[in-house]
Amino acid sequence: MDINSQSSKPHDFPSDDQNYLSGFGNSFESEAIDGSLPHSQNSPLKCPFGLYAEQISGSSFTSPRKLNQRSWLYRIKPSVTHEPFKPRSPIHGKLVSEFDKTNSCTTPTQLRWKPFDIPVSPTDFVDGLFTICGAGSSFLRHGFAIHIYTANKSMDNSSFCNADGDFLIVPQIGRLWITTECGRLQVSPGEVVVLPQGFRFAVDLPDGPSRGYVAEIFGSHFQLPDLGPIGANGLSAPRDFLVPKAWFEQGSRPGYTIIQKFGGELFTAKQDFSPFNVVAWHGNYVPYKYDLKKFCPYNTVLIDHSDPSINTVLTAPTDKPGVALLDFVIFPPRWLVAEHTFRPPYYHRNCMSEFMGLIYGAYEAKADGFLPGGASLHSCMTPHGPDTNTYEATIAQGNNAGPHKIKDTLAFMFESCLIPRICLWAVESPSVDHDYYQCWIGLKSHFSQGADVNSNGL
């Protein structure tokens, strides 16, 4: 086992060659010191090495066993050892966990944002986090929020705790070194990380300036999508999800600050030690990361364009079968081979709402204007689809287009059954692309009554 102490500071990370635990939804166990994990019971009268036992629950105690999520942490001092929480000053102001007319608006218009600027003044992950849109309420335990983060400095003598929901973080520029109570994770662009509700974590930036996307869900947790007729294999494999091994800090940390997001507001509490003092742990409620390059896509092999749901990595379901509170869908490199088919995504209106981001490269349905670090929002029943240049270039190839590989690109989508409200600062942002609608204005009629009705050649 790896024995760690305060001599290893969170911002002095080694290269990411440490072994992780692997699997999705497993019951794990890890100890940084041999013998520090109690056996046969969770809360002995005296834990090994004088540690404190503490449980963190991600579900109600009486949830069905297959849905029950909890972990036991064995720590040097319990997390309750802190001063009272106080409202953080200055107020953040741009984090939202309850969406209504006082802080957001609605519009059926297609929206697009250019990449958000990374600030020049020192800004860490917490101060650089701001909400774009969302729906529902963390108080009612149903809904979601979508945020952007732009940061240029590591968190200093502080950690963050989201009491409102789970974070799914998608880095776009710069690696993140994330220290959690279960251990440490390196997350690079092209990977994602899920930080469950209630875990304390700190974000360090080994590459300096960093930017990315965050989806937050209230009252639910992400799970792997059912595969249905696909069968037992494909899409995201459980073994490719990685969980950190136990790692801990000890010693005095005067003035250490816990920042807690609670109802969309930030509160702070002081303590004199690091929250990352967990020497051992076991359970199934854990942070985890996933490398999107390991996704196994399925696609059309003869005709037509598959629905984007075929590319779902993670889903947070609702009580209604087949309807997601939030799906995380990716558009990775893959072969296009469909015959007599318009291969880019078709024009459509959707009962779901779609927020898209681009990690790198170019998106297949937008030849121009959709840039890495940017975003778009197509809300419920708002029409959208390929821009004019993409459409014209595609049909110009005719029916003789051979197999083609989409490469050097990675786009993603957060899709929800709820109608998002857009935060006022996002609507008024200088990053808003006011000419987005122009990408479709050039679409012209190709209708001709003299055309062959069976023009697809079938």
Handedness of CA 411, 145, 351, 444 (dihedral sign): negative
Q: Residue 120 region, left (φ>0) first, then alpha (ψ -120 to 50), else beta?
A: alpha
- Asked whether the beta carbons of 30 and 280 are under 8 A apart, the reply is yes
Angle at 117 between CA 175 and CA 415, to 5 degrees: 70
Note the pLDDT of residue 378: 97
pLDDT tens digits, 205-252: 999 999 999 999 999 999 999 999 999 999 999 999 999 999 999 999
pLDDT score for 2: 37
Instruction: Tell me what pLDDT residue 194 has.
Output: 98
Q: Which secondary-structure segment (H or E) carries 279?
A: strand 278-283
Q: Structure pTM?
A: 0.94
Q: Determine the residue type at 191.
A: E
pLDDT value of position 15: 59
List C-alpha distances in Å: 21 to 30, 54, 61, 166, 246: 9, 21, 25, 20, 10
Where does 58-115 show beta strands of DSSP type E?
70-75, 86-87, 104-105, 111-113
Q: How far apart are CA 449 and CA 441, in angstroms?
A: 23
Eight-class DSSP state of 425: H
Catalytic residues: 305, 348, 354, 378, 384
Point out the residues of the chain with pLDDT beneath 50: 1-10, 457-458
Dig out the tokens for 159 from the structure.
């950690």
Q: Which of 269, 278, 291, 285 is nearest to 248 (CA)?
A: 278
pLDDT at 196: 98
pLDDT of 450: 74
